[in-house]
Structure 1
């Protein structure tokens, strides 16, 4: 009994020591900035990153990081409205690789799931893995970070009946490849659970968070995941 209690206490102490390092884990991007190194981040994806709301969260993240790290972060928003991962593959060289990024923040699931684009989950996975592989070929140390975004409603949900399969694919790829995943889904689900009227306060057209929604819901989680705080 004495041995059991001793090992239990030691084990608990060891876990306690680990927890701070886990909760405060930083991306290499932030570690390099903290070391005084200039860094380049490319944001790549759909209108969720390119439209007004997308521009708002990207700017909020950029400003917060640069305010802390002496303006050493250069951010390129290479996302494009109404585009999907096949476009992402086709424009990866000019939109991403040419910027010589140290990190790439990527999301294409929302439009890969759009029925009119006829992009299966398998094809979306193939495209995603190709982009990751190409970025890593350019720079093995480049940090690829995936995002799972918000929830479409009304007609936008009808046009994307299998969106969760695409979101789950991003989660699987992130886990399989050891990539950081920034998963916004649960935060948006909590708001949607309060009713459609409440959700529309943040996502007025049913798919694109507005500037306030993007700054209040998207930007804080991106910053938390990047900085570990």
Structure 2
């Protein structure tokens, strides 16, 4: 019946009818629900490579969620991390990192090198992190490599790391020498009032996961995405 009416309609009526159909098609297309993620993009793969500050950190799920929302893309974070370990151990784990074929590698490996009882000298730590960065860059040339400084230490955990600042500086220098990225989370931690900081890191080394997510994740999202998505 509609087709018959269009057949009998004048040219002006036909053009109006076709215009109305086109308008309705556009309206339906624009109002269709979106998936929330960029189409045809594989997940952004991140490897967090480090010590207990990563293994026990608890900030990775929040990074997946917030960075994914910012980029409108699925984000997956895998850990290659172990409590109490040093750069000596990390040198034996490079195959595991490479096997993940990450787009981004987040690295924090200075904390236990800096403890007095592990006897990893500053020069050895610097040599090790340089070798780690070189191997990762050679085997994963497209990956973004981001070296990180995490939270401050206090109490006994701070006393056994009297030269931790030098270890951080050495790791930062090795990253910068290779044109790699460095993110320092300590200033954001140190903005907390002293009582809040103590409560957030009750053992002097390992932040509570919920607080770690609030401090670490926004900085990483901003750094990785290149914009502030916190609003």
**Given the two structures, how large is their TM-score scaled by the length of structure 2?**
0.76
Question: Which has a greater percent of helix?
Answer: 1
Residues 126-205 of structure 1 correspond to what in structure 2 (within 5 A)? 126-191=127-192, 194-195=193-194, 197-205=195-203
Structure number with bigger Rg = 2
Q: Larger RCO: Structure 1 or Structure 2 (Cα < 8 Å, ≥ 6 residues apart)?
A: 1
Of 151-160 and 178-187, deviating more is 178-187
CA RMSD of aligned residues (A): 1.9
SS in 2 for 1:78: strand
Q: Could you tell me which residue of structure 2 aligns to residue 79 of structure 1?
A: 81
Q: Is the Cα–Cα contact under 8 Å of residues 70 and 225 in structure 2 kept in the other structure? A: no
Residues 1-229 of structure 1 correspond to what in structure 2 (within 5 A)? 36-51=41-56, 54-55=57-58, 57-69=59-71, 71-94=73-96, 96-191=97-192, 194-195=193-194, 197-229=195-227
Identify unmatched segments of 5+ residues in structure 1: 1-32
1:34, 1:64 → 2: CA distance?
18
Superposition deviation, residue 70 in structure 1: 5.3
**Given the two structures, how large is their TM-score scaled by the length of structure 1?**
0.77
Superposed CA offset, 1:37-65 (max 9, x none): 543211000111111xx12x111111112
Q: Is the Cα–Cα contact under 8 Å of residues 146 and 170 in structure 1 kept in the other structure? A: yes
Identify unmatched segments of 5+ residues in structure 2: 1-37
1:36, 1:88 → 2: CA distance?
31
Superposed CA offset, 1:109-147 (max 9, x none): 111101111111111111111111111221211211100
2:221, 2:209 → 1: CA distance?
16
Give runs of ≥4 in structure 1 deviating > 6 Å. none
2:77, 2:223 → 1: CA distance?
17
SS in 1 for 2:49: strand
Structure 1 pair 143–75 and aligned structure 2 pair: CA distance change class (3 A) = same
Q: Is the Cα–Cα contact under 8 Å of residues 36 and 69 in structure 1 kept in the other structure? A: no
Superposed CA offset, 1:169-227 (max 9, x none): 12212222111111012122233xx33x3321211111111022201211111111111
Q: Could you tell me which residue of structure 2 aligns to residue 29 of structure 1?
A: none
Superposition deviation, residue 71 in structure 1: 4.8
